[in-house]
Structure 1
Amino acid sequence: MTFDNQPVEVPQTLPMLPVRDIVVFPYMIIPLFVGRESSIRSVEDALAKNRLIFLASQKDIAEENPTPDTIYKVGTVAKIMRMRKLSDGRVKILIQGEAKAQITSFTKTTGSYEVAIEKIEDKNTATTPAEIEALVRTAKESIEKIIALGKALSPDILLVLDDVTDPGRIADLIASNLGVKVQEAQKVLETTDAKERLSLVCQILASELEVLQAQAKLRGNSREDQHKNQRENFLRDQMKAIKSELGEGAAQDSKSEEMEELRNKLMNAGMPETVQAEALKQLNRLERMHPDASEATMVRTYLDWMVDLPWNKSTEDIHDLAHAKAVLDDDHYELQKAKDRVMEFLAVRKLKTTMKGPILCFSGPPGVGKTSLGRSIAKAMGREYFRIALGGVKDEAEIRGHRRTYVGAMPGKIVQALRQCKTKNPVIVLDEIDKMASDFRGDPASAMLEVLDPEQNTTFRDNYLNVDFDLSKVLFIATANVVENIPPALRDRMEMIYIPGYTENDKLFITKKHLINRQMEANGITSDNIKFTDEGIKFLIAGYTREAGLRNLEREVGSVCRKVAKKVVMNESNFVEVTAQTVPELLGPPRFLRDDKMLEPQVGVVQGLAWTQAGGEVLLIEALKMKGKGSMMLTGQLGDVMKESAHAAMSYARAHMDELGIEQEMFEKFDVHVHLPAGAIPKDGPSAGITLTTALVSLLTGTPVRNDIAMTGEVTLQGRVLPVGGIREKCLAALNLGITNVIIPMANGKDLEDIPQVFKDKMNFILAENLDEVFAVAFEKSDRFTKNKPSAKKDPKKGSTKSAAA
């Protein structure tokens, strides 16, 4: 039903549909089956116009072709919500009553009915609120008694009545649900005074209640008569009853034993007092229920969950830090920050046994080992391990559980994990926490706030259990690819540990130690059949994968192993050495080719550094001038941030044209085109500011840019160089291309400690604070930009002096 207060516009004429054995009231939604041809035409006429139709009841329900004299004049204007044609030629429509109206005349009677109508408004006589309240209460009490006596009414009608205050609507609602005769229902419909209509409904309810009470009394008398008629079979019935009682007694004994066993389990489960009291209360309810009742099954399932949860069961942590370090180092290469944090936790745990579990979040590109690191941590600590996949979870109940009133209710994923682990201090990995979403069923990220807050999760309450459970002993480890997708409130509750991508040397080591052995075993070959050389692995890494993690690399190693397995089985070769020459024979031509670095200094061409999920990249930025009117064109699929950086670079060049030595006509008679090659690949990010500025200044001054240098950093309109991210990946990408001189912002000097020392020894890092320092280093042998040449800066990470002019 609907109780929309919006008035409906009633036309002067409407198609009419005579209905049998029912009176339709306003605000009533009901399906109707239409079979008469004239009635079907009326429905089609209504659908062709405004979907409104007038419904009037027949005085004689048996009449097949009613005339205007046999149709009640007062009816209901209704809207056709849906219509469906049935296979037997009938039509099923779903209608909603909108307003009362009265027929003033029949404008069409052939083929189908069309009537002129007049809307009827309710009258409200002067009555006190107390009188209306008394009638409403009387009606509700009568409905409760009628339902108790077995009348087929929905109990929800009482809840709906609580939300309705208009006495006229209350009367219509009761009359439409009571199922009274057409004459009585029509009398209610035609009563326009709201108080009188409600009073009439109370009279109908009282009459219906008397009939139901008389029926109940007759049924009781009938049972007594039946009992008297069966006295001659008393002995046989008594014997059956005795046998039945003996069987029920045995069943009762079995049930009592089961309940006592369940009670002992609850008493010995180690629950807190408040939790145990709630469990015993539910057990007492179960004892009073019939075993075949549906609610008994639900309560029994609930008690089984309560018994199985590890209220006081926990594993003892392994405090041997040397063992933990050996396990972590054996399973994972590098990832030093994450390993150090776990070692710190174990060290503190050894000194203080009553500490709360930290909430760690490993973030980084796919395939770098975030999830498997959680398994290794559990192994190092001697704890149980469980992984919860959160990708695509939209329902809050997946985290907090369903209430037991719902059919098929279950606890949330957290409680399910604890039941499966059978300990209260496992390592639970919340995988892909940044992939959770929200919809009309709730926001699971908000439900996670309680789980991942050490100050709140001591009293975590699952909706299914409806009691507190202590999660403070659980070591939660979340994983995420993009931290920015995690809501700020949830991110604040976790300790973020970034896991960067692997370098080519890292991938070489991991492939030799882990991936090759794993894929050889998976594909059924041994070291007698295949051997990987370092050159072959490096060629495989550089030519067939471009990622920060290891998943695609492991797939390619597996593909090589399968090719070799095929050769072995077909007796083509029993041994294959994988080298840089044999990899293309097995896998085909390389899929990725690295761009060569600039061979010589060029005007308007600068080597920039970019960060991607696959690691660092060296990107060429090209600038070209042509005759024009001073406009600037940007191509190469640049994002908004990079476009703004290009405009800022041009503004800086125009503002400092005198000191840079740029002629005025460059901005008046020439157009500038800035392009980043590989135009099909979207590019954006705040790290190309100094690269774009250097390219434009080089173009406008005709000064070549050194070909042995790469740079990254954002720039302001005042020429200050701002810090950027991804320094480690960018610098290693430059080194892989043979570029050893890299300009980075001064504020990023602290990030150099993330670069392995073996690589830092091969590189020359130039720390710049402003564009003057960038120009002094970047431009090839030009005195124009060396007047502000900065003094030498000392790199604290290496202890060697690196000149800003390199």
Structure 2
Amino acid sequence: VYQNRLKKLKVSRDVREELEKHIKRLSQMHPESAETAVMRNYLDWMFSLPWNKSTVDNLDLTKAKAILDEDHYGLEKVKERIIEYLSVRKLSKRIKGPILCFVGPPGVGKTSLGRSIARALGRKFIRMSLGGIRDEAEIRGHRRTYVGAMPGRIIQGIRRCSSNNPIFMLDEVDKVGADFRGDPSSALLEVLDPEQNHSFRDHYLGVPFDLSKVMFITTANLIDPIQPALRDRMEIITIPGYTEEEKLQIALRHLIPKQIKEHSLTSKMISFSPAAVKKIISLYTREAGVRNLEREIAAVCRKVARRVAEGKKGKVRITTQNIEKFLGPPRIFRDQLLKKDKIGVATGVAWTASGGEILFVEASKMKGKGNLLLTGSLGEVMKESAQAALSYARAHTQEFGINPQLFSEYDFHIHIPEGAIPKDGPSAGVTMATSLISVCTERKVRWDVAMTGEITLRGNVLPVGGIKEKVLAAQRAGVKKMILPAANRKDLIDIPAAVKRKMEFVFVEDIKSVFNEALVPPFQAPSKKGMKQDKSPSAALEHPENG
């Protein structure tokens, strides 16, 4: 039987020789010996693998794009990368499968995106979770000398889908462990290297298997825990958290229809107004993804399903007025902007895992000996930023008209509210400096101006990260003007045009430009370093040499 199957099998010479050797050995064994069962099991595995079976790729770019857009809203960078791969695949049949790594917070659709890519390409889909795996044999398999030996999960997945070119998703690659049984991350180096995986050797098979046609996609919440050598082999695609507008569209297009169907309701029984969905997003959830949003929508659907089950008739319309009847009082407190200019209170913005937040930096002075007191659960980097801001103020007393005696006769206290939440990072440097100078010069800080940037002792403003999330947080809070480091001008390309039209952006290289924009009255007319931008979206990219 095995000889007949071998004649039909198209494999490399090495594999054929190995199979012939084992078939010959099997024919010489006693049918009831234990070794015979092991040998039969091995041959069954070898003949069941798709050595040369491939699915035909869907090379219709328009159709593939339509499928990706139908399954996921936004995520343009990922979609573009997949369409690029398909384009090259259309021109050349020899292209190796790319190895992509989707990095982003929980709930943004990394795993479901892999399934969508498989559907768009017309390929089989295999998902393997790496979370908590500690044994190298899970990847490479066991040698046949062990009782109950089996191939690793890579080969098992390939056999299960009966195709040698599937989409293979390795979920949670940042949560792989390691112990005395080996390091699975090191075993993955061969699997995820396009130069090596054409001859991947599983311990159980003992012969090379070609994985070069497989498109590997890995997912991770954080990039840091991934072994550097493994990280180097993957093309990192960052999937940021969704904006409020994107969440609204995802809810209206995907989540609400899905939950209505799952709860056996129809559009004649329940409807959600866009304003009600916005209220759920802003006042009942605080996350980068949409998992909690889906749970809240499901909670509303359950209450309506109960009403229908009790025999009550009529359509239930979910609006901003009645949403609290279904979900209770709001759970999220959102910081509200001050409504008037104040001395010593500057508005900053911070990046968090669930998006951006505005924060207030409060400074005050009291009789003392020139000490600096910092409160609000600040990290070391933030404390150093406050010290740098105070040193800058002390070094420029004459320039700002500050009495030098002030720093020896008064203590300064900087506090950032919501003290239970740990805060760190250098990006609040300009905000702290502005609130300190405001207190020292008795000038008010404009309430509708937010700022971010790292400060140096020389007064230079350095670039920071998370600009998209910070700008969106400022816009949600009602900020009219945003002060950003000049080097961050390039990051405005990621911000939606509608947001750019509503806000004015000022790009600065020096802290003095910040003071001139934020303090009332300003020290002088804004300098050329305060490169001002008008409200048109195109203006963000008019002078790339300044960024």
| Interval containing the TM-score (normalised by the shorter chain) | over 0.9
Work out the number of aligned pairs and report it: 542
Deviation per CA, 1:4-39, whole angstroms, max 9, x where unpaired?
A: xxxxxxxxxxxxxxxxxxxxxxxxxxxxxxxxxxxx
What is the match of residue 330 of structure 1?
70
Q: How does 1:37-186 map to 2 (within 5 A)?
A: none
Q: How does 1:335-484 map to 2 (within 5 A)?
A: 335-484=75-224
Indicate the SS of the match to 2:537.
coil
Asked if the contact 1:401–1:412 (Cα under 8 Å) also holds between the matched residues in 2, the reply is yes
| AA in 2 matched with 1:702 | E
Distance (whole Å) between structure 2 residues aligned to residue 418 and residue 497 of structure 1: 25
Indicate the SS of the match to 2:538.
coil
Distance (whole Å) between structure 2 residues aligned to residue 404 and residue 431 of structure 1: 28
What is the match of residue 359 of structure 2?
619
Indicate the SS of the match to 2:384.
helix
What is the match of residue 545 of structure 2?
none
What is the match of residue 656 of structure 1?
396
What is the match of residue 798 of structure 1?
537
Asked if the contact 1:567–1:574 (Cα under 8 Å) also holds between the matched residues in 2, the reply is no
Distance (whole Å) between structure 2 residues aligned to residue 500 and residue 329 of structure 1: 17
Per-residue deviation, 1:285: 2.4
Deviation per CA, 1:515-538, whole angstroms, max 9, x where unpaired?
A: 111001111111121111111111
What is the match of residue 722 of structure 1?
462
Q: What are structure 2's unaligned runs of at least 5 residues? A: 543-547
CA distance change for structure 1 residues 653 and 269 in 2, over 3 Å: closer, same or farther? farther
Distance (whole Å) between structure 2 residues aligned to residue 721 and residue 266 of structure 1: 70
Asked if the contact 2:513–2:530 (Cα under 8 Å) also holds between the matched residues in 1, the reply is no
Distance (whole Å) between structure 2 residues aligned to residue 659 and residue 529 of structure 1: 68
Q: Does 1:694 align with 2:438?
A: no
Per-residue deviation, 1:267: 3.7
Q: Does 1:303 align with 2:43?
A: yes
Indicate the SS of the match to 2:280.
helix
CA distance change for structure 1 residues 479 and 791 in 2, over 3 Å: closer, same or farther? closer
CA distance change for structure 1 residues 370 and 802 in 2, over 3 Å: closer, same or farther? closer
What is the match of residue 736 of structure 1?
476
Deviation per CA, 1:47-77, whole angstroms, max 9, x where unpaired?
A: xxxxxxxxxxxxxxxxxxxxxxxxxxxxxxx
| AA in 2 matched with 1:402 | H
Per-residue deviation, 1:741: 1.0
Per-residue deviation, 1:288: 2.6
| AA in 2 matched with 1:711 | M
Asked if the contact 1:267–1:276 (Cα under 8 Å) also holds between the matched residues in 2, the reply is no
Q: How does 1:497-576 map to 2 (within 5 A)?
A: 497-576=237-316
Asked if the contact 1:426–1:475 (Cα under 8 Å) also holds between the matched residues in 2, the reply is yes
Deviation per CA, 1:190-224, whole angstroms, max 9, x where unpaired?
A: xxxxxxxxxxxxxxxxxxxxxxxxxxxxxxxxxxx
Deviation per CA, 1:620-658, whole angstroms, max 9, x where unpaired?
A: 111122222222122211122222222222222222232
Distance (whole Å) between structure 2 residues aligned to residue 276 and residue 655 of structure 1: 80
Indicate the SS of the match to 2:364.
strand
| AA in 1 matched with 2:106 | P
Per-residue deviation, 1:684: 1.6
Cα RMSD (Å): 1.9
Q: Does 1:684 align with 2:424?
A: yes
Per-residue deviation, 1:571: 2.9
Distance (whole Å) between structure 1 residues aligned to residue 435 and residue 527 of structure 2: 19
Per-residue deviation, 1:786: 4.0
Deviation per CA, 1:387-421, whole angstroms, max 9, x where unpaired?
A: 11111112222112222222322222211111111
Distance (whole Å) between structure 2 residues aligned to residue 347 and residue 787 of structure 1: 50
Asked if the contact 1:752–1:797 (Cα under 8 Å) also holds between the matched residues in 2, the reply is no
Asked if the contact 1:793–1:802 (Cα under 8 Å) also holds between the matched residues in 2, the reply is no
Deviation per CA, 1:311-347, whole angstroms, max 9, x where unpaired?
A: 1000111110000010011111111111011110000
CA distance change for structure 1 residues 752 and 802 in 2, over 3 Å: closer, same or farther? closer
Distance (whole Å) between structure 2 residues aligned to residue 786 and residue 652 of structure 1: 21
Q: Which has the higher contact order (CA 8 A, sep 6+)?
A: 2
Deviation per CA, 1:434-473, whole angstroms, max 9, x where unpaired?
A: 1112222222111111111111111111122121111111
Distance (whole Å) between structure 1 residues aligned to residue 27 and residue 86 of structure 2: 47
Per-residue deviation, 1:793: 4.1
Distance (whole Å) between structure 1 residues aligned to residue 150 and residue 374 of structure 2: 56
Distance (whole Å) between structure 1 residues aligned to residue 526 and residue 427 of structure 2: 26
CA distance change for structure 1 residues 456 and 802 in 2, over 3 Å: closer, same or farther? closer
Indicate the SS of the match to 2:224.
helix
What is the match of residue 757 of structure 1?
497
Per-residue deviation, 1:269: 3.0
TM-score under structure 1 normalisation?
A: 0.65
Asked if the contact 2:269–2:314 (Cα under 8 Å) also holds between the matched residues in 1, the reply is yes
CA distance change for structure 1 residues 565 and 311 in 2, over 3 Å: closer, same or farther? same
Q: Which moved more, 1:299-308 or 1:310-319?
A: 299-308
Asked if the contact 1:454–1:472 (Cα under 8 Å) also holds between the matched residues in 2, the reply is yes
Distance (whole Å) between structure 2 residues aligned to residue 793 and residue 701 of structure 1: 25
Indicate the SS of the match to 1:511.
helix
